[in-house]
Amino acid sequence: MLAWTIYISFLGAAGLLLLPKGSVAFARILALLTAVAGFAVALVAFVHHRTGEMQTITRVPWIPSLGIEYHLAADGISLTLVLLTGIIAITGILFSWNIEERTKEFFAFYLLLIGAVYGVFLSYDLFLLFVFYEIVIIPKYFLIAIWGSTRREYGAMKLALYSFVGSAMVLVGLIAAYVVAGAKTTSLHDLAQFPFSLHFQMLAFPLVFVGFAILAGLWPLHTWAPTGHVAAPTAASMLLAGVVMKLGAYGCLRVAMVLFPLGLGPWGFHVFGLGSWRDVFALLAVIGIIYGALVALVQKDFKFVIGYSSVSHMGFILLGLMTLNQIGLSGAVLQMYSHGILAGLLFAVVGRMVYARTHTRELALLGPMNLNKVIPFAAVTFVIAGMAGMGLPGFSGFVAELMILIGVWRAYPLLALFVGIGIVIGVVYIWRAMQKAFFSEARVESAPHQPPLPPISFPERLGAIILIGASVLVGIYPQMLLNIVIPALNSPLFAGLRQGSWQ
């Protein structure tokens, strides 16, 4: 049943391409219906799946000569992310209601991307997972290069190449693991149980982990993220920050850490005080948190602020993964959901509500426009999203970051201090952007020269309300997700990790 999230999206994309020329309104509605149908399927599965353990959806032989299966399965982690994908897919379409140029193609690429993302989250066979993971690259490139803004072709190419380099690293690791294990199966379950030698894991783990982490915005390989986000059209930024970066984090957790748990163990010697890959990546994640926040603090372009904030927030996820304790890991999964929703919301406000109307994202130019009076809905939404992003109690971000912080406190007490600093800077940059964009002193003389901005439309309001609701719901009742995420982390698949340095 859950497999239909993938098929519906692909069918929707194909259907859009076959529409006659000029049917713009119909294309939008068809895309929206497809996304809603996908979300409905995901929601039904989410409600029915109460244990959080891995359940097979479809399993048929695909390439029997190589032991490759078409195997889809879902556990609590994948379900959480599938649900997130469904929400982002719907709201992304609502916020792209104003796309007039080559509408059909836009939504076709969009749905292709969504379908592939569903596929990654649901794959339980590594070959299949990799296939879906790579399909994501191409529509992403075209969405940005065709419908983007600032330096779009550069941003799109950079994004595509970074992704492809990352997936090339993953491919090397996967082929090596497959061959070392006897070239009989690519099933994640079977390979996770194969006793790879310590030496092999020490080499393969960083390769595959970094390969995935490039897409998760690991510092210093994050530079594609701000340029890509800024160049992308609103819906694509929402997708990029909302779900595509999660693909990277998901791959780190699901593939790199599950296949090569020994790679996280100590090297047996110390370099600059770092004793294992785990220490290295934890440190890089913390640098990412602080660096992203500091750079966001000095940006002049509104969208770059959000772009760098994404790097900072993704640092939390990677750090949560490296804590290797239950609270830290489940916090990381929760943060994947939370950041997906909130980054989507922030990009929607900046890209669609503000930029599409004012045609500028310069904070200095936005200030005099008196936006909190002209488009109060955008101002209110941004305030809420900003608060949620900072970690205000009652929103999903609070729970997630708190859990990660506790996890870090247990694993790396010293780093927890720096994370605290990162959170504080997070408050400052959001506050500064909010102040400059929406609440700065209005200069009366400049206002009359400009035509009045169009009011916030209904699809935009609806999208914003859905996203805020999704964040508040989890903020108030995090057990909704944790009830299935924690059993998933305790399942046999993660046994290798738990036996390692799980605390």
Nearest to 96 by CA among 465, 429, 353, 424: 353
Least distance in angstroms from the C-beta of 206 to another protein = 14
Tokens representing 486 are: 């924690």
Which residue lies nearer to another protein by CB, 25 or 63?
A: 63
Q: How far is the CB of 349 from another protein (least distance, A)?
A: 27
Residue with tokens 């048929």: 60
Beta bridge pairs of residue 301: 362
# of chain residues touching another protein (CB under 8 A): 31
CA 102/CA 387 separation, integer angstroms: 36
| Interacting positions 25-64 with another protein (CB under 8 A) | 62-64
**From 60, 179, 271, 414, residue interacting with another protein (rule: CB under 8 A):** 179
DSSP letters, 398-440, are: HHHHHHHHHHHHHH-HHHHHHHHHHHHHHHHHHHHHHHHHHSS
Closest CB to another protein among 124 and 178? 178
Distance CA 305, CA 292 (A): 9
What Cα–Cα distance (Å) separates residue 115 from each residue in 13, 89, 109, 110, 134? 9, 10, 10, 9, 12
Q: Which stretch binds another protein (CB under 8 A): 179-187, 272-280, 319-327, 480-488?
A: 179-187
Q: Are the C-beta atoms of 208 and 256 separated by less than 8 Å?
A: yes
**Which string of x and - marks every residue 110-139 that binds another protein (by CB under 8 A)?**
-----------------x--xx--xx-xx-
Among residues 491, 492, 470, which one has the least CA distance to residue 481? 470
**Closest distance of CB 463 from another protein, Å:** 27
157 interacts with another protein by CB under 8 A: yes
Report the site for another protein in 335-374 (rule: CB under 8 A).
Answer: none
Stretch that binds another protein, among 178-186, 414-422, 461-469, 492-500 (CB under 8 A): 178-186
- The residue (of 168 and 417) whose beta carbon lies closer to another protein is 168
d(CA 399, CA 335): 8
Which span (45-53, 165-173, 220-228, 302-310) binds another protein, by CB under 8 A? 165-173
Return the HEC string of 219-249.
CCCCCHHHHHHHHCCHHHHHHHHHHHHHHHH
> Interacting stretch for another protein, rule CB under 8 A, among 176-184, 218-226, 306-314, 422-430?
176-184
3-state secondary structure of 294: helix
User: Is residue 147 within 8 Å of residue 106, measured between CB atoms?
Assistant: yes
Q: Which one, 137 or 230, has the nearer CB to another protein?
A: 137
Q: How far apart are CA 429 and CA 241, in angstroms?
A: 18
Q: Which of 165, 356, 365, 392 binds another protein (CB under 8 A)?
A: 165
Residues 294-333: x where in contact with another protein by CB under 8 A, - otherwise, as a string? ----------------------------------------
Residue 276, beta-bridge partner list:
266
Q: Are 211 and 170 in contact (CB under 8 A)?
A: yes
Residue 178 C-beta: closest distance to another protein, Å = 6
Q: How far is the CB of 212 from another protein (least distance, A)?
A: 15
Q: Is 423 in the site for another protein (CB under 8 A)?
A: no
Nearest to 193 by CA among 101, 261, 293: 261
Binding to another protein in span 182-241, by CB under 8 A:
183
Single out the residue of 146, 274, 356, 428 in contact with another protein (rule: CB under 8 A). Answer: 146
- Binds another protein by CB under 8 A, chosen from 20, 47, 60, 65: 65
Segment lying near another protein (by CB under 8 A), choices 23-31, 160-168, 225-233, 417-425: 160-168
Distance CA 275, CA 279 (A): 6
Q: What's the closest the beta carbon of residue 165 comes to another protein, in angstroms? A: 5
Query: For residue 99, which amino acid is it?
Result: I
Shortest spacing between CB 267 and another protein, in angstroms: 20
Least spacing, CB of residue 248 vs another protein, in Å: 16
Least distance (Å) between residue 468 CB and another protein = 35
Residue whose C-alpha is closest to residue 216's, from 97, 335, 80:
335
CB neighbour burial string for 173-207, b if at least 16 within 10 angstroms, e if fewer: bbebbbeebeeebbbbbebbeeebeeebbbbbbbb
Least distance from another protein to the Cβ atom of residue 121, Å: 17
Interior/surface letters 229-260, b for 16+ CB within 10 angstroms, e for the rest: bbbbbbbbbbbbbbbbbbbbbbbbbbbbbbbb
Q: Which stretch binds another protein (CB under 8 A): 76-84, 174-182, 222-230, 332-340?
A: 174-182
CB 425 within 8 A of CB 297: yes
Cβ nearer to another protein, comparing 157 with 356:
157
Select 130 or 347, whichever has its Cβ closest to another protein: 130
Q: 172 vs 442, which CB is nearer to another protein?
A: 172
Residue 180 interacting with another protein (CB under 8 A): yes
Is residue 11 within the footprint of another protein (CB under 8 A)? no
Binding stretches for another protein (CB under 8 A): 62-66, 127, 130-131, 134-135, 137-138, 141-142, 145-146, 153, 157, 160-161, 164-165, 168, 171-172, 175-176, 178-180, 183
